[in-house]
Structure 1
Amino acid sequence: MTELVLASGSQIRAELLQNAGLTFDIDPARVDERAIEAPLLESDFSPEDIAQVLAEAKAQEVSERRPGALVIGADQVLDFEGERLTKPADMEAARRQLLAMSGKTHALHSAVAIARDGQTLWRNVGTVRLTMRPFGPEFVGRYLAGVGEVALTSVGAYQLEGPGIQLFSAIDGDYFTVLGLPLLPLLGELRVLGALEG
């Protein structure tokens, strides 16, 4: 079987692949995401396109270091009312972000790419629309106190697989895409590429 590598340090992405029965190495990409994003933002690239470019950059960078391996790169961008949100810098930023999104809908764009020897072989972007229920400062304070610093590890300051699910009234789209990896299209392409049997 072809060597498979995940170019991400994300624990949840690794768990998704492990739970799907894949055998792979973890080799996080060493790319400057902000430097890659800067010209894209100046050129008015869409959030989906930014996520895709970053996923490809990560897959390509690691694939240049791992000859012959199939390398999976991934990235996620949160689009809220036309603004691209990144991981909150601190708990106060998380509090402000959650209060701004209260009662409103935002989109998560999760991109995945497969590269070999520095060349992208395949790419995909999944989009999910999430609607937060209305809530106030007291609830947000309790939520952040309960989850702690883990709120700073995701672009939305929440994890659906934990207490963050209580922030939402509706989710339109694929659960795996919310977690940062469009898993079903990825598994399908890995079969096409011979990295999975069946």
Structure 2
Amino acid sequence: MTHLWLPERPLILASGSPTRRHLLEAAGLEVEVMVPNLDERRVEAEAGPLTPVDLARRLALAKALAVAATAGDRIVLAADQVLACEGEVFHKSSSLDAARDQLSRLSNRMHSLHSAAALIVPGREPELIHDDAHLTIRDLGSVDIDTYLAIAGLHRVTGTVGGYQLEGLGIHLFSRIEGSHATILGLPLTGLLDRLRRHGCLAF
């Protein structure tokens, strides 16, 4: 039987994101999850002023290095995503009220999702890949936002930056979407697969 993933052992995904794992497995990769023990906000604070793209890359690299330190000769992948609107970086909301505030501020404005991946292949320098997507949330009134939050629920709106899951109810919030679906979900997949192909990890 021919397999797409050629290395003897699965790719280590340094992320607890089920969405990223699903994207990789749907693309035919064999994946094993190892969640890094990392304080992302501390990494961000210690990094100092960075552009949103550089912040996403820094966080992805920190995750990959944290797992690679105990992964031996395994290939390690980590990823991160930063949402920025007019220069301001947004983080996951901690409550429905915080999500309501975020959506109010993003309403009728375009924001960018900067998705970065860090790939560590033993014997090589870490490689960074990133891709951007641009999304415009339609003009939402307070009733629209409250209705969305009530239907989506606490878990969904606090589990993602911006308070939405584009692959679910969040799709109703948008008037325009530009960018790769995988990038929007948090993984620059096309660029990543190209790198893995160059390293001889894929059958074609």
Q: TM-score, normalised by structure 2?
A: 0.92
Match of 1:194 among 192, 196, 200: 200
Partner of residue 81, structure 2? 76
Q: State the Cα deviation string for residues 14-66 of structure 1 (Å, max 9, x = none).
A: 110111111110001111111110032x3x21010010011011111111111
Partner of 2:26: 19
In structure 1, C-alpha distance between the alignment counterparts of 2:14 and 2:125, rounded to whole Å: 13
Structure 1 residues 130 and 153, CA, compared in 2 at 3 Å: closer, same or farther?
same
Indicate if the aligned counterparts of 1:59 and 1:73 stay in contact, CA closer than 8 A: yes
The alignment partner of 1:65 has SS state of coil
| Unaligned runs of at least 5 residues, structure 2 | 1-6
2:92 matches 1:94: no
Partner of 1:66: 71
Output the CA distance in 1 between the equivalents of 2:8 and 2:65.
Answer: 17
- For 1:46, the equivalent position in structure 2 comes to 51
| Percent identity (aligned) | 42
Residue matched to 1:107: 112
- Cα deviation, 1:126-146, whole Å, max 9, x if unaligned, reads 111111110111111111111
- The letter of the residue matching 1:7 is A
Matched, 1:129 2:168: no
Deviation >2 Å, runs of 4+ = 116-121
What CA distance in whole angstroms lies between the structure 2 residues aligned with 1:119 and 1:38? 28
Give the 3-state SS of the residue equivalent to 1:60 in structure 2: helix
Match of 2:148, as an amino acid?
Y
Q: Say if 2:130 and 2:191, in contact at 8 Å, map to a contact too.
A: no
Q: What is the Cα-based RMSD across aligned positions, in Å?
A: 1.4
The whole-number CA distance in structure 1 between the counterparts of 2:121 and 2:85 is: 33
Taking the aligned partners of 2:114 and 2:170, their CA distance within structure 1 comes to: 18
Q: Are 1:56 and 1:120, in contact at CA under 8 Å, matched by a contact in 2?
A: no
What corresponds to 1:35 in structure 2? Answer: 42
Q: Which one-letter code corresponds to 2:102 in the other structure?
A: Q
Are the equivalent residues in 2 in contact too, given 1:102–1:135 (CA < 8 A)? Answer: yes
Q: 1:64 to 1:137 in 2, by over 3 A?
A: same
8 Å Cα contact 2:113-2:134 kept in structure 1: yes
- Provide structure 1 residue ranges, at least 5 long, that are not aligned to the other structure: none
Q: Is the 8 A contact 1:60 1:120 kept in 2?
A: no
Contact 1:69 1:116 in 2 (8 A): yes
